[in-house]
Structure 1
Amino acid sequence: MLINRKNLFSLTIMGMLFSFIAIPAFAEVETIQTDKLFYTTKEKIIFSGTVDYDSTGLVSIVIRDSNDKFVLLTQAIIKSDNTFERSVNSNEKFSVHGIYNATAFIVNTSEGAFTIFDYSLDGSPVSPSVSNLIDSSQGLTTSSSSQTIETEPEPISKIASFVDTSKDPQYYIDRYNSESAYKKWFDTNFSNITIEEAVGLSKTIDKIPQSPDIFQFIDPDQDPQYYIDRYNSESAYKKWFDTNFPKQTIYEAVGITPLELTQDNVDDLPIHEPPKSTQKISESQVQSSTISPSLDTVNADVAPMLLALGGLGILFGAVYGVKRRVDSNTEQITENKTKLEKKVNDNSEQIFQNRFWLKKKLMSLKFGGEPIIVIKERLAKGEITVDEYYKLLKALKK
């Protein structure tokens, strides 16, 4: 009976863990918005939105500043009507004056929803602001050219106000191509232009032939082996390069033509050992090489997974602790029961012995030896004769 109860408990625990792990594969956030467009220091920012029908669990919200640096990760519980709401107090983490963005998702950041809002450190207006973006999305004009572009793409007449001109335009193009939430936001607010036109590039940029001349992320003063080592040792860098330049090799990008090596010239080649420890990509390296998504985006993607794994780990630890405690208590109860049964058996045996002794004592008193002792003593004292002794003994035995 004890074994069956333990098995039932284990099955219950496994069922609980499975219910937490079995998250709907296609559940995702549909919309997200803030309660207003402009916030100042220490104001409460309220996020709300909708999710796919019959979604359950948590919505993760990643907030980034105007430099697209990670600011905060928070979560909201999905309500029964497929909506969610979460308020955030702006604190010292909100340290940049400008336009902030927030991405809400359940499983995948690239499949979630996207929104933006203004944040002012001193209460002064933000420029450009979200209102400017909304206005410019309706009035932005573009220019076209019938000439084939063979070198640098020509800038159009006006750049969208959300674009930071200090950043490489490819940064916004990569986000548009890799993040569906960002793409959805752009297409909704700037339906009359393309992403290339918004960042100041002609739409004919796609017609530029792929050649080593376009690899603008290469620093001519840097040893080409530096980029080759990064490609071979950093999986994020390799993934970025293969995604953006699928028709070229890293050797072609840095201007090295592959040779048919023989044993003689192999021995003459310099040996470049890869770095012993993989270094994290700094912000300056990310901006110079236009890696997209950035490390902040990667961290934001990993953070929900770590939170989910951490939650499952805590749950498993708590359940395992409870199970161990129950098993320990069960073993202790069994041990105490065994000891008690043994003690009861010992006491029963002692009681039986005491009963036997008492019965024997009572029998000795009943048939007792005291009158015989008395007549023996009288015989010894000469009070009675031998014949009288045997007569009395015979009478007592009757």
Structure 2
Amino acid sequence: MTERIYLDHHATTPVDPRVLEAMWPWFSERFGNASSISHAYGHEAAEAVDEARREVAGLIGAAPEELVFTSGATEANNLAIKGVLQAAGDRPHVIVAAAEHRAVLDPVRRLRRQGVAATTVPVTQTGRVDPDAVLEAIRPETRLVSVMLANNEVGTINPVAEIARACRERGIITHTDAAQAVGKIPVDVRELDVDLMSLSAHKLYGPKGIGALFVRRCEPRVPLLPQIDGGGHERGLRSGTLPVPLVVGFGVACRLAEQERAGETGRLARLRDDLWQRLQPIDDVTLNGPALDGTDGGRLPGNLNVSFAGVNGDALMMRLAASLLAVSSGSACTSANPEPSHVLRAMGLSDRAARASLRFGLGRSTTDGEIERAAAIVCDVVGELRRLD
């Protein structure tokens, strides 16, 4: 029986067995509510949450009290963007980049309908945000700039630190969606100089349903209006009973990522480059995003995004799924209203090229043999589709 190959680690990662082992007792005998500090069960849970908070903070160079646990990066993005702009008063202005995740673009779209002014700055052909474009978009009423650290489709690493420093000089709050970057490349909030940063456990071999927002501790305090009320948890910024098992898993996943990142980075970059070389027999295959050698700003080590000229994107995805190869496309094939990737279109690709694109996301479990088999499958499928066209 042919085994499935999972190369969609940007979408989600499997929970590491060591993470699952650490989480399990908190689902059963150690079931206390971390807010119930009047008895031993609650104290035990609170201590576990504190330890996990330290582990997550340690991975990004933050102080533990600067973290607000959320249900994931999407909620963290909403809290950051809506929280700052709703606290800013009448008609504030926000700047975002055209290649941001929908978890940033959609909250901004909703706020625009509520009277917030927004500017979307373009990206380069490699998906990179130009700091000068951000600075040119700044207005007197600009209150927030949100630029992702690493792109979820093409792996582009953005110059967030340069942007954040320029914004700080102008008194503008900066936010970065770092869900794809944390655990894969070194991330330090002090070096980045951002005020807010979103992250998610399931992108780094932790459980789904838990993430965090880093909120810089400074004077004056970052103005942030809570989006969920009901108990004042997380220093009043995110009410709700903490899911202790998920928090514990998040902490362990961050600790493991810190311990293993250096070796894993080199291994994934080697496998990615090998995959790219194995796709070279295909005519008219194009690399999307930064060069693999890092000469134009760098990309995530496990990311490869390519387009195949003259191939129907929907047919490509269906054939690959039937071949038990799990990758993702630039086209939202399962959507009721499918459309090409907004990221690839922002980079200048045509709708047809964007639809005929594949995103390979390599991860901790990816092997040399899987790369060889995956490349062979893609070569065969693309060749067959071109013969049928």
Give the TM-score of the pair, scaled to structure 1.
0.25
| Larger Rg computed on CA atoms | 1
- Return the TM-score normalized by structure 2: 0.25
Task: Specify which structure has the higher proportion of helix.
Answer: 1
- Tell me: higher relative CO, structure 1 or 2? Use CA pairs within 8 A at least 6 residues apart: 2
